[in-house]
Structure 1
Amino acid sequence: MRNRLALPILAALLAPVAALAQSPVEITSDQFVMNEAEHEAVFTGNVVVVHPNVTVWAPRVVATYGEGGTSDIETFLASGGNVRLKTKDQDATGDQALYTPGDQLLRLTGNVRVVNASGTVDATELVVNLATNVSTFTSSGSGRVTGVFTSQ
Structure 2
Amino acid sequence: MMRFLPALIVLAGLVQPVLAQQQVEIDADTFTVDEASRKAVFAGNVVVKHPTVTVWAPNVVATYGAGGTNDIESFEASGNVRLKTSDQDATGERAVFTPGDQLLRLTGNVKVTNSGGTVSANELVVNLATSVSTFTSGGGGRVTGVFTSQ
TM-score higher than 0.5: yes
- The alpha carbon displacement at 1:78 in A equals 0.4
**Letter of the 1:111 counterpart:** N
SS at match of 2:69: helix
Which structure is higher in strand share? 2
CA-based RMSD: 1.1
Q: Render the CA deviation track for 1:89-123: whole Å, top value 9, x for unaligned.
A: 10000000001111111100000000000110000
Q: Which residue in 2 is equivalent to 1:149?
A: 147
In the superposition, the TM-score normalised over structure 1's length comes to 0.91
CA contact (8 A) 1:12 1:87 kept: no
Counterparts of 2:136 and 2:95 in 1: how far apart (Å)?
15
**What is the rounded CA distance, in whole Å, between the counterparts of 2:73 and 2:84 in structure 1?**
22
Q: Is the 8 A contact 2:47 2:54 kept in 1?
A: yes
TM-score scaled by length of structure 2: 0.92
CA–CA distance in 2 between the matches of 1:140 and 1:14?
Answer: 21
Inter-partner Cα distance in structure 1 for 2:100 and 2:83: 20
Which structure has the higher relative contact order (CA within 8 Å, separation 6+)? Answer: 1
Uncovered stretches (5+) of structure 2, i.e. residues with no partner = 18-22
Q: Which runs of 4+ in 1 moved over 3 A?
A: none
Worse-matched range after superposition: 121-130 or 134-143: 134-143
Contact 1:112 1:126 survives alignment (8 Å): yes
Unpaired segments ≥5 residues, structure 1: none
Match of 2:31 in 1: 32
Question: Secondary structure at 2:12's aligned position in 1?
Answer: helix
The count of corresponding residues between Structure 1 and Structure 2 is 145
The percent of aligned pairs where both chains have the same amino acid is 69
Measure the CA separation in 2 of the matches of 1:60 and 1:95. Answer: 11
